[in-house]
Amino acid sequence: MSTATTRSRHYGWPAVLLVFIPAAAHADALIPYMVVPWGQAVLLPLVIVIEASILNRLLGGTFRSNLFQSFVANLASTALGVALYFITMPAMGADLFHWWFMGGFSIEAVRGACIAFLFATVLWTVSWVSETAVIVRMRKESVANKIRSSSATANLITYGLLLALAVWFGRDSSEVDAKANIDTVRNSHTINDFLKPTPEYPLVGFWKGLCTDDFGSAIEAATGGKYTVAFCGPGGCDRVERLTPISLENDPKYRVIDQNTIEERWSNGATLHRCEPNS
């Protein structure tokens, strides 16, 4: 089962260290909007034991050997999940967040569940294929079909556990957390009223990929020459008090091209333009 940590959740030593990253965050860093406190520290060892028990029952052998196979297979699928996450999320993460935050389909909790289900389906497939390959190689047996079905069963059960835990821990939190993080007084239609650039803070303004977009990034003055960057859509903006001020000129996630153009390095090199009010 692919597991890690996000702003969301996923060899060698880096994978082992990820397991012990404190998380009141995601049960699986690669599955956004699935919240299980301390998910990384608890779930990966639990998944290894559960899958080892299932493999032991379906494939035979000693429990110790199946435990080792499950451990190696899960590390392999975790590595693959990490790679997949960091390759795809820079290109699609912003779009997913925009859709979750301001999409017209149902409520935030339902949209978050759709994203989580999509990620879980992809990662289950990655886990199943990669763990089957690892176990077939380790067992050196010509029973690939049986191993494939056993691995599928093991991953279905552990992903079912993950989904159940996510539903349990997130049953009361998703809408509350979303509303706590969103300022509904300020939105993409009103934010320019709050943005006044000064000689000390020349980058203050509402920045968009296209000035016709109905969403963008509100860059505001903080202190010490730093700025806050809040996402704003028609439904509201990130609450400024929950944002960490950054120095745009020196921040690795951004590159200031000129006073009206900024490159978002974290978003696959997307370019933001300072837009006039109501544009």
User: What pLDDT, on a 0 to 100 scale, did the predictor assign at position 253?
Assistant: 86
What number is the average pLDDT over the span 65-75?
A: 90
**Are residues 204 and 81 part of one domain?**
no
Question: Of 179, 213, 242, which residue sits at a domain end?
Answer: 179
For 215-256, what is each residue's pLDDT tens digit? 889 999 998 999 999 988 887 888 888 888 999 988 888 999
Q: Give the separation between CA 174 and CA 247, rounded to whole angstroms.
A: 31
- Higher pLDDT: 166 or 10? It is 166
Q: How many domains are contained in the chain?
A: 2
- Higher pLDDT: 28 or 193? It is 193
Edge-to-edge order in the sheet of strand 261-264: 182-183, 236-238, 227-233, 216-221, 205-208, 270-275, 261-264, 254-258
- Higher pLDDT: 279 or 5? It is 279
Question: Quick check: is 163 in a domain?
Answer: yes
**Are residues 139 and 78 part of one domain?**
yes
The pTM score is: 0.51
Question: Of 147, 163, 179, which residue sits at a domain end?
Answer: 179
**Average pLDDT for the chain:** 75
User: What pLDDT, on a 0 to 100 scale, did the predictor assign at position 18?
Assistant: 28
In contact, 39 and 9? CB cutoff 8 Å: yes
**Are residues 246 and 137 part of one domain?**
no
Reply yes or no on whether the pLDDT at 4 is more than 50. no
**Are residues 99 and 45 part of one domain?**
yes
CATH number at residue 254: 2.40.128
What residue numbers bound the domain in which 84 lies?
Answer: 13-179
Question: Quick check: is 6 in a domain?
Answer: no
For 118-138, what is each residue's pLDDT tens digit? 777 887 888 888 888 888 888
Question: Of 179, 198, 224, which residue sits at a domain end?
Answer: 179
User: What pLDDT, on a 0 to 100 scale, did the predictor assign at position 170?
Assistant: 61
**Are residues 222 and 108 part of one domain?**
no
**Are residues 112 and 59 part of one domain?**
yes
Reply yes or no on whether the pLDDT at 102 is more than 60. no
